[in-house]
């Protein structure tokens, strides 16, 4: 009986440090799992931010291209107005611009690439890319 009491006393002396050690190992494992989870989530968020940044850059480039095209059209119109005294004859044919953009949007929804939209609709690369990206955002939303 004395041996049994001595053995339980020895076990009691070692049980607290063992319990603390096991608890520390458990907390370390949980912390590692949480850190891995947070790291994975941060990588996903970074990829999304990178994609959004690239889309924003493409929108900016497209907007600049559209702005340049508008300026060119305004310059052509001013030049035509200078050369003709009658403004009614300046524009002999007005292309339904919305029809071109509607067709380009339809092609983008069908999954056509930017180059095919450019060639089919007669748009600049920037315009076609803008329509393509806008459609991509609409589908994602």
Q: What is the pTM of this model?
A: 0.40
Query: Is residue 36 pLDDT above 80, yes or no?
Result: yes
Q: Does residue 11 lie within any of the structural domains?
A: no
Closest by alpha carbon to 140, among 41, 51, 42, 43? 51
The pLDDT-based confidence of 5 (bands split at 50, 70, 90) is low
pLDDT recorded at residue 26: 95
Domain-embedded: residue 25:
no
**Maximal C-alpha separation, the chain:** 124
Closest CA to 104 of 89, 119, 82: 119
In a domain, 23, yes or no: no
Q: Quote the domain boundaries for residue 99.
A: 31-140
Q: Which pLDDT band holds residue 93 (cuts at 50, 70, 90)?
A: very low
Mean per-residue pLDDT over the chain, rounded: 79
Question: How many domains is the chain built from?
Answer: 1
């Amino acid at each position: 009986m004395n041996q049994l009491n001595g053995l339980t006393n020895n076990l009691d002396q070692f049980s607290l440090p063992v319990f603390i050690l096991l608890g520390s190992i458990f907390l370390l494992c949980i912390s590692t799992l949480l850190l891995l989870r947070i790291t994975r989530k941060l990588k996903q968020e970074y990829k999304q931010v990178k994609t959004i940044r690239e889309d924003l850059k493409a929108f900016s480039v497209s907007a600049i291209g559209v702005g340049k095209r508008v300026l060119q059209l305004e310059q052509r119109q001013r030049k035509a107005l200078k050369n003709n005294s009658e403004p009614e004859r300046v524009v002999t044919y007005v292309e339904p611009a919305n029809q071109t953009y509607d067709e380009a949007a339809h092609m983008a929804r069908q999954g056509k690439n930017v180059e095919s939209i450019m060639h089919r609709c007669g748009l600049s690369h920037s315009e076609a890319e803008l329509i393509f990206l806008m459609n991509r955002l609409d589908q994602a939303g």
